Amino acid sequence: MTSTTVAPPATAAPVAQEKVRRGWTQHGLLFVAPFLLIYLAFLVWPTVLGFRMSLSSVNIAGGNNHLVGFANYAEAFADPRMWRSLWNTLVFTVLSTVPLVLLGLGFALLVHHLRFVQWLWRLSFFGPFLLPSAVVSLLWLQMIYPPDYGLINGTLGTKTLWLADPSVAMWSMVLTTVWWTVGFNFLLYLAALQSIPQHLYEAAAIDGASAWDKLRSITLPLLGRTTALIVVLQLLASLKVFDQIYLMTAGGPQDSTRPIIEYAYDVGFTGYRTGYASAVSYILFVLIVIVSLAQLRLFRKRAEVSS
Amino acid sequence: MQDPPPISRRLLLGGSLALAGAAATGCAIPVGLGSSRTRVQYWHFLGASDGIIMNKMVQAFAKDNPDIFVEENVLAWGEPYYTKIAMAGSGGRSPDLATFHLARLAGIGAGQILDPINVKLLEEAGLRGADFSPPIWERAHLDGVLYAIPFDAHPMVQYYNTDICGKAGLLGPDGKLKPTKGVDELVAALGKAKEVMGGKPPLTYDALGIGTVGPWRVWYSLYPQSGGTLLSDDGTKIAIDDAKALEVLRFMRRLGQEGLCDRRTDYGASVANFTNGQAAFLWNGDWETTGLKERKTPFSMTRFPDVFGSGAAQADCHSFVLPHQRNRDPEVERATYRFIAYLVKNSADWAVAGHVPAYLPALEEPEYLALQPQSEYRSVITEVSLDPQVWFAGSASRLWLEFGQAFSPVITGDRTPEEGLAAAKAALARLLSAPDPFPAEERQ
């Protein structure tokens, strides 16, 4: 953005910069110090500690604590269950992000243009997002997915094993997740829609633009930044999926839904190998950093283009 | 909104503080300050009918021992339970007593997660090693140190619906199921039951589902019958006899293909079908006994059928362990041993739940012998096939889950027996190559 904006008058610039810099050293550090300390103690230090752990054979009781170098990583890269769970995480991320963004946009457009009982539509789309993951899981597990008496099979007259069939289970998890979390994206889109100035549409109407033209040339471009934000948030959220899958399928059947976080949990807490679990967690950590960096670059380009 | 609040702020604050105080001490009220009762915190995973019986035993103990208060804490069975034990034990502020599956002992880090049993205190409470079934007592030790007190063995058994089997002519003159020997006799009996049931599959067991271990349980009952083993004696190499293992898998698959076994049921559905008379036979652990009795299912039970040369049946044993505590209160410890001794000596009450007592004197008690059908299958105790003594074995362990997962598609027909066995062996190889989190040399 800075590259194309008009530069401020040259004479004022050095003074302003001087002030800012002095402020940072004099008071700024003091103000951020509490946060910085918490950040160091609860984020940076555990991150370092976790990495040290991933190089050891330490167990859940803190015993057997020997440095083993990169043996845990070597084991993880040769572990088909690690790859399977990593693959599941990526599949889940792709399958869930696309409908979550598109449906969020669709619902927001719908509600934005509906003129009656708007609060009811907002509530119905956003409501599920307010439920805790345990409630959502129980609801789908006990009422919607049961093969014999569940809502879906009961209505359609089918006999699908929604959660027990390895070829269906992942789709079931995506469906539940979309129902549960689409409300958040919907809300972000709705807020963005409401901030688009009405006069743009009025001007377009005068020029004889159709509804489709308005959507394509005004609404969607102006929602660009929101979309970018939603995609980033959604990718990160989906990569970190755990609750609903753990509660509904525990990673089964046939490992078809186990995400990488659950695999780390499994080997660490139920398999008692804390060191190995740390290594698996670090593999996910690196993956998330890569995705975030890629997104950041994309974001910056988009920002430059739009300005 | 503008009216002054009816309760002053100070009163409200005081009130809520008092409430919070009451809540904080809530669970301790029965042994409140100044009380002379000793509190023993007891964790177990015994749900449903097992749980009801355990609760009755705890109450009976409380009646006889007014100076001890046993605080029961019932947790969900399976992997989550063992995760909690590991977490509590590693922190050193664990409950005073916990139930445990004996086959998991090798994998839990005895000495780190569990404390050794104080044999002197145990004898003081009136329990001696000689009173227990020797192979089970043996399994409670690691490197000669006692870490668990065995309570029972719970083998796979065969439940049968007496109405259906009667109609199919499968009962002897004494009203008990005529035992079958070998594949052909069993298939013939199932065929007769199928006819009576109008073509519905007569046998059911949990063949699939989330985290199912049914396929493992059935396979590990049948495979050892023909003399097959899983691992070499030292527990380091795969010793599966492919021919024998495949024979069993082919047989399990055949039952499904010929409509003799309901192959697409999970645990809940298999028990429900049998309970409601939708199946003539149920293969399951002995713990469903009480539930079936309560629901008035016309049933009896017997030993797991002899199909491949012996009457072996997969089994594990409930036992008691002391999760690691940094500072164990000697008074609580004494009370704990008294409680354990009470439970073990009253094993006949526990056998109501279906389990075979590990305490030998209980097996001879007329009370136990009168239990029907529980005492019908007690002879299995000499032929139980217990898990190999490795760190990844035992109830709800990786071994069970991996094998359940490998064999489930064989039963449902989605995978060939060869593919199923290959998957199981690959999983076993991975488990063998992964390092033991609690290596023996770290013990104490």
What's the whole-number mean pLDDT along residues A140-160? 88
SS in 3 state form for chain B? CCCCCCCCHHHHHHHHHHHHHHHHHHHHHHHCCCCCCEEEEEEECCCHHHHHHHHHHHHHHHHHCCCEEEEEEECCCCHHHHHHHHHHHHHCECCCEEEEEHHHHHHCCECCCEECCCHHHHHHCCCCHHHECHHHHHHCEECCEECCEECEEEEEEEEEEHHHHHHCCCECCCCCECCCEHHHHHHHHHHHHHHHCCCCCCEECCCCCCCCCHHHHHHHHHHHHHCCCCECCCCCCECCCHHHHHHHHHHHHHHHHCCCEECCCCHHHHHHHHHCCCCCEEEEEHHHHHHHHHCCCCEEEEECCECCCCCCEEEECEEEEEECECCCCHHHHHHHHHHHHHHHHCHHHHHHHCCEECEHHHHHCHHHHCCCCHHHHHHHHHCEECCCCCCCCCCCCHHHHHHHHHHHHHHHCCCCHHHHHHHHHHHHHHHHHCCCCCCHHHCC
Question: Hunting for tokens 């009470």 — which residue is that?
Answer: B342
Reported ipTM exceeds the 0.90 cut? no
> CA angle, corner A190, sides to A211 and A236, nearest 5?
120
Any B CB within 8 A of A252 CB: yes
Q: Are B212 and B268 in contact (CB under 8 A)?
A: no
Q: What is the pLDDT of residue A136?
A: 95
Nearest-angstrom CA–CA distance, A206 and B78: 68
Q: Is the pLDDT of residue B22 over 80?
A: no
Q: Is the pLDDT of residue B293 over 50?
A: yes
Note which residues in 398-417 of chain B have CB less than 8 A from chain A. Answer: 398, 405, 408-409
Nearest-angstrom CA–CA distance, B354 and B356: 7
pTM assigned to the model: 0.81
Q: B79: distance to nearest CA of chain A, Å? A: 6
Q: Which residues pair with B152 in a beta bridge?
A: B357
Sign of torsion, CA B434 B439 B441 B442? positive
Any A CB within 8 A of B21 CB: no
Which residue from B90, B209, B405 is facing A60, i.e. has the nearest CB?
A: B90
Q: Confidence class of residue A20 from pLDDT cuts 50, 70 and 90? A: low
How many other C-beta atoms are found inside a 10 Å radius of the C-beta of residue B93? 12
Note which residues in 231-270 of chain B have CB less than 8 A from chain A. Answer: 264, 266, 269
Tokens of B97: 């007593």
Q: Are B205 and B282 in contact (CB under 8 A)?
A: yes
Tokens of B289: 């006994």
Any B CB within 8 A of A254 CB: yes
Nearest-angstrom CA–CA distance, A174 and A230: 17
Chain mean pLDDT for chain B: 88
Q: Report chain A residues whose CB lies below 8 A from the CB of B109.
A: 59-61, 63, 272
Q: Report chain A residues whose CB lies below 8 A from the CB of B87.
A: 60, 269
* B423: closest chain A residue by CA: A254
Note whether B438 contacts A272, CB cutoff 8 Å.
yes
Any A CB within 8 A of B86 CB: yes
Any A CB within 8 A of B93 CB: no
Which residue from A59, A62, A253 is facing B208, i.e. has the nearest CB?
A: A253
Cα→Cα distances A5→A2, A296, A304, Å = 5, 21, 11
Tokens of A243: 């609750």
Q: Are A269 and B86 in contact (CB under 8 A)?
A: yes
DSSP H/E element including A275: helix A274-306
Any A CB within 8 A of B273 CB: no
Taking chain A, what is the end-to-end CA distance rounded to the nearest angstrom? 6
A288 or A18: whose pLDDT is higher? A288
B28 or A245: whose pLDDT is higher? A245
Q: What is the pLDDT of residue A300?
A: 75
Nearest-angstrom CA–CA distance, B19 and B25: 10
Q: Are A184 and A101 in contact (CB under 8 A)?
A: no
Q: How does DSSP assign A88-106, residue by residue?
A: HHHHHHHHHHHHHHHHHHH
Sign of torsion, CA A228 A231 A235 A241? positive
What b/e string do you get for A30-44 counting C-beta neighbours within 10 Å, with b at 16 or more? eeeeeeeeeeeeeee
Note whether A254 contacts B269, CB cutoff 8 Å.
no
Q: What is the pLDDT of residue B268?
A: 86
Collapse the DSSP code of A114 into the 3-class scheme (helix H, G, I; strand E, B; otherwise coil) and give the result. coil
Note whether A63 contacts B438, CB cutoff 8 Å.
yes
Note whether B437 contacts A64, CB cutoff 8 Å.
yes
Q: Is the pLDDT of residue B31 over 80?
A: no
Note whether A253 contacts B90, CB cutoff 8 Å.
no
Any B CB within 8 A of A247 CB: no
The radius of gyration computed from the CA coordinates of chain B, to the nearest angstrom, equals 24
Nearest-angstrom CA–CA distance, B416 and B407: 9
Per DSSP bridges, beta strands B114-115 and B318-323 are: antiparallel
B205 or A7: whose pLDDT is higher? B205
Burial status of residue B408 (CB atoms within 10 A of its CB: 0-12, 13-18, 19 or more):
buried
Q: Confidence class of residue B6 from pLDDT cuts 50, 70 and 90? A: very low
Any B CB within 8 A of A112 CB: no
Which residue from A64, A75, A252 is facing B438, i.e. has the nearest CB?
A: A64
Min mean pLDDT across A97-101, A174-178, A199-203, B337-341 is at A199-203
Note whether B269 contacts A273, CB cutoff 8 Å.
no
CB pairs under 8 A between A and B: 76
What's the whole-number mean pLDDT along residues A7-33? 61
Chain mean pLDDT for chain A: 87
Q: Report chain A residues whose CB lies below 8 A from the CB of B77.
A: none
Any B CB within 8 A of A146 CB: no
Min mean pLDDT across A44-53, A110-119, B292-301, B427-436 is at A110-119
Note which residues in 100-119 of chain B have CB less than 8 A from chain A. Answer: 107-109, 112-113
Which residue from A253, A269, A271 is facing B398, i.e. has the nearest CB?
A: A271
What b/e string do you get for B108-121 counting C-beta neighbours within 10 Å, with b at 16 or more? bbbbbbbbbbbeeb
pLDDT digits (tens, 9 = 90+) for B371-422: 888 888 888 877 888 899 899 999 888 899 999 989 999 998 889 999 999 9
Q: Report chain A residues whose CB lies below 8 A from the CB of B79.
A: 270
Any B CB within 8 A of A84 CB: no
- Which of B75, B94, B208 to mutate to probe the A interface, most A CBs <10 Å? B208
Q: Are B11 and B41 in contact (CB under 8 A)?
A: no
Q: Is the pLDDT of residue B13 over 60?
A: no
Q: Report chain A residues whose CB lies below 8 A from the CB of B429.
A: none
Any B CB within 8 A of A273 CB: yes
Cα→Cα distances B93→A274, B139, B162, B322, B326, Å = 20, 26, 50, 11, 7
Cα→Cα distances B305→B182, B194, B312, B314, Å = 8, 18, 9, 12
Tell me the Ramachandran region of residue A62: left when phi exceeds 0, alpha when psi lies from -120 to 50, beta otherwise.
left
Note which residues in 157-196 of chain A have CB less than 8 A from chain B. Answer: 161, 163-164
Q: What is the pLDDT of residue A17?
A: 55
Nearest-angstrom CA–CA distance, B244 and B257: 20
Tell me A61's DSSP state.
Answer: T
- Tell me the one-letter amino acid at A28: G
Q: Confidence class of residue B9 from pLDDT cuts 50, 70 and 90? A: very low
pLDDT digits (tens, 9 = 90+) for B61-94: 999 999 999 999 999 888 889 999 999 998 899 9
- Which of B82, B90, B265 to mutate to probe the A interface, most A CBs <10 Å? B90
Q: B242: distance to nearest CA of chain A, Å? A: 23
Min mean pLDDT across A31-40, A144-153, A191-200, B64-73 is at A144-153
Q: Is the pLDDT of residue A23 over 70?
A: no
Which residue from A64, A249, A270 is facing B79, i.e. has the nearest CB?
A: A270
List all residues 6 or more positions away from A127 whose beta carbon is below 8 Å from its beta carbon: A183
Note whether B210 contacts A63, CB cutoff 8 Å.
no
| Nearest by Cα to B223 from B345, B310, B340 | B310
Q: Are B396 and B77 in contact (CB under 8 A)?
A: yes
> CA angle, corner B321, sides to B315 and B323, nearest 5?
130
Per the omega criterion (within 30 degrees of 0), is the bond before A253 cis? yes
How many other C-beta atoms are found inside a 10 Å radius of the C-beta of residue B197? 18
Collapse the DSSP code of A229 into the 3-class scheme (helix H, G, I; strand E, B; otherwise coil) and give the result. helix
Note whether A75 contacts B90, CB cutoff 8 Å.
no
Cα→Cα distances A27→A15, A24, A34, A40, B53, Å = 18, 6, 13, 20, 68
Q: Is the pLDDT of residue A25 over 90?
A: no
Collapse the DSSP code of A195 into the 3-class scheme (helix H, G, I; strand E, B; otherwise coil) and give the result. coil
Note whether B437 contacts A59, CB cutoff 8 Å.
yes
Which residue from B266, B434, B439 is facing A64, i.e. has the nearest CB?
A: B439
Min mean pLDDT across A149-163, B163-177, B213-227, B331-345 is at A149-163
Q: At the topology level of CATH, where does A74-306 sit? A: MetI-like fold (1.10.3720)
Nearest-angstrom CA–CA distance, B118 and B120: 5
Per DSSP bridges, beta strands B152-161 and B299-303 are: antiparallel
Which residue from B87, B208, B437 is facing A273, i.e. has the nearest CB?
A: B437
Tell me A43's DSSP state.
Answer: I
Q: Which residues pair with B98 in a beta bridge?
A: B43, B321
Min mean pLDDT across A67-76, A100-109, A288-297, B220-229 is at A288-297
Per DSSP bridges, beta strands B152-161 and B356-357 are: antiparallel
Q: Which range among A254-263, B26-35, B433-442 has the greatest average pLDDT?
A: A254-263
Q: Report chain B residues whose CB lies below 8 A from the CB of A64.
A: 437-439, 442
Tell me the domain boundaries of chain A: 74-306
What's the whole-number mean pLDDT along residues A276-295? 92
